[in-house]
Amino acid sequence: MTITKERKLLGASLGLSMLLGAGTVYAGSWQQNVAIGGFNRVHIYTPDSVSPIGNGKSLLVVLHGCTQSIDAYLTANLEDAAEEYGMVVAVPDAVNKAGFSCWSYWQGARTRTAGDYANLINLANTMTGDAARNIDADQVYIAGLSSGAAFANTTACIAPDIFAGMGISAGPSIGTSSNGAIGSCETANVTSRCNSYAGSYASHFDTQIASIAHGTSDTTVDDCYNRQNAEGMAGVYGVSELSGTNTYTDNGRTAAETLWQDSRVSMLWLNGVDHAWSGGQGASGSYVNGNGINYGRYLGQYFADNNQRVDRNQGPELSNIAVTSSGSLITVSGTAIDAEGSVSSVDATFEGPASDSVSGTVDASGYFSLSSMTLVDGLYEVSISATDNEGAASESYVSTVRVGPAPPPTAPELSDLAAAVDGQCVTVTGTVVDQNLDLDNVSIAFSNGNIAAGVTGTTFSGQQCGLPGGQGSATVTASDLSGLSSSASVSFVADAGVTATLDEHIAATRLDYTNYANCYLEYSTAAFRLDEKSVGGGMCQWQDNDASCNGPQQACSTGGSSSGSSSSSSSSSSSSSSSSSGGSGSSGGSSSSSSSSSSSSSSSSSSSGGSGSSSSGGGEHACTEYTANNYSHVTAGRATTSGGYVYALGSGDNLGLYNIFFTTTLAETGPDYYEQGNCP
| Dihedral, CA of residue 446, residue 452, residue 454 and residue 457, to nearest 10 | 100
571 vs 98 pLDDT, higher one = 98
Residue 561's identity, in one-letter code, is S
How many Cβ atoms sit within 10 Å of the Cβ of residue 589? 12
Buried b (16+ CB within 10 A) or exposed e, 73-85: bbbbbbbbbbbbb
* % residues pLDDT > 90 (the chain): 63
Identify whether the C-beta of residue 591 lies closer than 8 Å to the C-beta of residue 566.
yes
Identify whether the C-beta of residue 254 lies closer than 8 Å to the C-beta of residue 213.
no
Residue 419's identity, in one-letter code, is A
Estimate the crossing angle of helix 295-306 against helix 78-85, to 10 degrees: 30
Determine the 3-state secondary structure of 388 from DSSP. strand
Q: pLDDT digit string (tens) for 122-152?
A: 999 999 999 989 999 999 999 999 999 999 9
pLDDT level of residue 518 (50, 70, 90 thresholds): confident
Q: pLDDT digit string (tens) for 192-237?
A: 999 999 999 999 999 999 999 999 999 999 999 999 999 999 999 9
Q: What is the pTM of this model?
A: 0.60
Identify whether the C-beta of residue 461 lies closer than 8 Å to the C-beta of residue 428.
yes
Chosen CATH of 2-306 out of 3.40.930.10, 3.40.50.1820, 3.40.50.720, 2.40.50.140: 3.40.50.1820
Distance CA 359, CA 350 (A): 12
CATH architecture of the domain formed by 317-403: Sandwich (2.60)
Determine the 3-state secondary structure of 207 from DSSP. helix
Closest by Cα among 210, 165, 173 to 192:
173
CA distances from 378 to 326, 410, 434 (A): 13, 14, 12
Q: pLDDT digit string (tens) for 314-323?
A: 899 999 999 9
Identify whether the C-beta of residue 485 lies closer than 8 Å to the C-beta of residue 600.
no
Distance CA 397, CA 95 (A): 53
Mean pLDDT check: name the lowest of 124-133, 301-310, 353-362, 622-631.
622-631
DSSP label at 294?
A: B
| Rounded (5°) CA angle 635-641-643 | 150
CATH architecture of the domain formed by 413-495+572-577: Sandwich (2.60)
Distance CA 61, CA 69 (A): 15
CA–centroid distance for 14 within its chain: 16
Q: What's residue 179's pLDDT?
A: 86
Distance CA 22, CA 522 (A): 9
Q: Which helix (H) or strand (E) holds 300?
A: helix 295-306
Which residue intervals of the chain bear CATH 3.40.50.1820?
A: 2-306
Q: What's residue 679's pLDDT?
A: 84
**Cα atoms in the 13 Å half-sphere on the side-chain side of 397:** 20
pLDDT level of residue 582 (50, 70, 90 thresholds): very low
Determine the 3-state secondary structure of 562 from DSSP. coil
CA distances from 187 to 167, 229, 338 (A): 21, 10, 50
Residue 425's identity, in one-letter code, is C
State the pairing for strand pair 378-388/343-351: antiparallel
Q: What's residue 635's pLDDT?
A: 67
| H runs (alpha helix) in 48-177 | 78-85, 115-129, 147-158
Q: Which of 148-152, 603-607, 653-657 has the highest mean pLDDT?
A: 148-152
State the pairing for strand pair 57-63/87-92: parallel
Let me know if 45 is exposed, middle or buried by CB neighbors in 10 A (0-12, 13-18, 19+). Answer: buried
Determine the 3-state secondary structure of 334 from DSSP. strand
Mean pLDDT check: name the lowest of 280-294, 397-411, 551-565, 571-585.
571-585
Q: pLDDT digit string (tens) for 456-488?
A: 888 999 999 988 878 899 999 999 999 999 999
Sign of the dihedral through C-alpha 87, 90, 91, 96: negative
pLDDT tops 60 at residue 594: no
Q: What's residue 368's pLDDT?
A: 98
Distance CA 452, CA 319 (A): 26
**Cα atoms in the 13 Å half-sphere on the side-chain side of 602:** 6
Distant-in-sequence, close-in-space partners of 331: CB < 8 Å, separation ≥ 6: 322, 323, 324, 325, 369, 370, 371, 372
